[in-house]
Amino acid sequence: MASGTELTPTSYMSHHLTNLTSSLGEGAFWTLHVDTLAMSILLGVISFGFLWWVVRGATSGVPGKRQAFVELAIEFIDEQVKSTFHGDRHKFVAPTALTVFVWVLMMNAMDLLPIDIMAAVYEVLGLHNWRSVPTTDINTTFALALSVWLLMIFFNIKVKGLGGWIHELVCTPFGKNPILWPVNILFNVVEYVSKPLSHSLRLYGNIYAGEIIFLLIGMWAATGLAGTLFGTLLGAGWAIFHILIITLQAFIFMMLTVVYLSMAHESH
Amino acid sequence: MNINFTLFSQAMAFAIFIWFTVKFVWPPLMRAIENRQKTIADGLAAGERGKQELELASHRSADVVREAKQRAADIVAQAEKRAAEIVEEAKNVARDEGSRILVGAKAEVEQEVFRARETLRQHVADLALAGAAKILHREVDAKTHADLLASIKTEL
């Protein structure tokens, strides 16, 4: 709800899709989306703080309901990792998968907060532009995907050695014959470029589209009482469906992370 | 779609959260879960062992009962045998005792008979003497006719 000026669909949409920015230096790159960073860190601190709090009091005897819930989540992820990654998963890959799943799920779940009510709350707090869903910011999804990409390269070099990795880049998937080297390199470059792109854009696109649809449904309120009620029903339906999307996208993001990391561990 | 410094700050936050989970969240809970799994596995194994031991014990107890029954039957049989022996011995002893008593009785009877015959002979001699005295109407001096009397006595 842009205060002051007349409310048009365009201003409504752009109000909800504008980040609170802070400039750190010259040029467009040195800006910081304060809302994205603050929300993601807040959610991370809450969820991992919760996990830490539960785990610190964890007993190997009969678990309480809280511990059982956390164990359920962790064992679910551990199962997924176990079926994909063959190695010492407890050292890094499984906890990373847990981090990715929990954090992305929490950030996605912010999408279920009613946008206009939250906007009013943020307005009271003096935050005119404030986007609560960090995963609708491409910076977040790229940050995650590129971190995973760097980890992938790190593990490639760590497991196979620099020479082994270069050998793999040059000689797979088509073969060792020098004639095939350019094709192999091209293929691998495309793969290495497409991995972080598809990884991040899939999550970003799904959640961003979900938010846009919430905004479009929200605009029914401009058409009167009947439209508001209709919009309410639509919004409820979309929110229920969106529970599936946010969970599924968090799960897919986690699974891709695990798959990429385990591919980095395996030589061809 | 404006890529900016947020990307790096998010990546740093991500790295910190990964580090935190790897270090503080995952290992303690995994340890707890693994300990519990071990406890449960131990419990199940103990239960299995207990069942086996119970089975073994029941086998053993059945053996013991069977053995005890066997021994009881043996003891009863022995006792019966011994009882029969004792009865047999007692019979033998009784028979011997009886025959001994019989022999003694027979000897006594013979003695009695002999004594009675002696007494009778005495009486008869006396009677004969008395009869002779009557016949002779005079008193027979036993002393003077002792020879005669003795010869008569032996003839009787």
Determine contact: B40 vs chain A, CB below 8 A.
no
Query: Catalytic residue positions of A?
Result: 198, 202, 206
Q: Is residue A140 part of a domain?
A: yes
CB A171 within 8 A of CB A184: yes
Q: What is the DSSP code string of A148-188?
A: HHHHHHHHHHHHHHHHHHHHHHHHTTT-S-GGGHHHHHHHH
pLDDT at A145: 95
Residue A204 belongs to a domain:
yes
* ipTM for the assembly: 0.86
**Chain A contact present for B19, CB below 8 A:** no
CA angle at residue A74 from A70 to A76, to 5 degrees? 115
pLDDT at B29: 87
Question: A51: domain range?
Answer: 9-265
CA dist list (Å): A254 to A47, A81, A95, A248, B104: 16, 9, 11, 10, 123
Distances in Å between the Cα of A128 and the Cα atoms of A16, A221, A229 are 10, 21, 27
Please enumerate in sequence order all residues whose Cβ is within 8 A of that of A56, keeping only pairs 6 or more positions apart, or say none.
Answer: B28
For A168, residues 6+ apart whose C-beta sits below 8 A from its C-beta are: A156, A160, A188, A267, A268
Give the span between the Cα atoms of A77 and A50, in whole angstroms.
17
- Evaluate whether residue B3 is within a structural domain: no
Q: What would the mean pLDDT of B8-17 be, rounded to a whole number?
A: 92
pLDDT in tens, A10-30: 888 888 888 888 888 887 888
Say whether A99 and B4 touch across the interface (CB within 8 A).
no
Domain count, chain A: 1
* pLDDT tens track for A164-216: 999 988 888 888 888 889 999 999 999 999 999 999 999 999 999 999 999 99
Q: In angstroms, what CA-CA distances link B152 with A154, B114, B124?
A: 161, 19, 10
Instruction: Determine the Cα–Cα distance for residues B84 and B81; give it in Å rounded to an integer.
Output: 5
User: What's chain B's average pLDDT?
Assistant: 89
Residues linked to residue A32 through DSSP beta bridges, in sequence order: A22
Contact B25 A95 (CB under 8 A): yes
From residue A97, alpha-carbon distances to A81, A90, A254 in Å are 8, 10, 6
| Residue B67 pLDDT exceeds 90 | yes
pLDDT at A140: 92
| DSSP-derived 3-state class of residue B114 | helix
In a domain, B38, yes or no: no
Chain B contact for A96, CB < 8 A?
Answer: yes
Is B120 within a domain?
yes
A47-53: Cβ within 8 A, 24+ apart: A47/A102, A47/A103, A47/A106, A48/A99, A48/A102, A48/A103, A48/B17, A48/B20, A48/B21, A48/B25, A51/A102, A51/B21, A51/B25, A52/B20, A52/B24, A52/B25
The per-residue pLDDT for A6 is 67
What's the number of domains chain B is made of?
1
pLDDT at A1: 41
For residue B142, is it within any domain? yes
Residue B116 in domain: yes
Tell whether A250 is covered by a domain.
Answer: yes
Domain assignment present for residue B109? The answer is yes
Burial of A75 (0-12, 13-18, 19+ CB in 10 A): middle
Question: Can you list the residues of chain A whose pLDDT is less than 70?
Answer: 1-6, 268
Residue B1 lies in a domain: no
Per the CB < 8 Å rule, is A31 touching B13? no
Domain assignment present for residue A63? The answer is yes
Give the pair of three-digit tokens for residue A87: 């190695």
Q: Which domain holds residue B102?
A: 47-155
Q: Which of B4, B25, B27 comes nearest A51 by C-beta?
A: B25
Q: Is the Cβ of B111 closer than 8 Å to some Cβ of chain A?
A: no
Contacts of A180 (CB under 8 A, 6+ apart): A171, A174
Reduced to 3 states (helix: H, G, I; strand: E, B; else coil), residue A31 is: strand
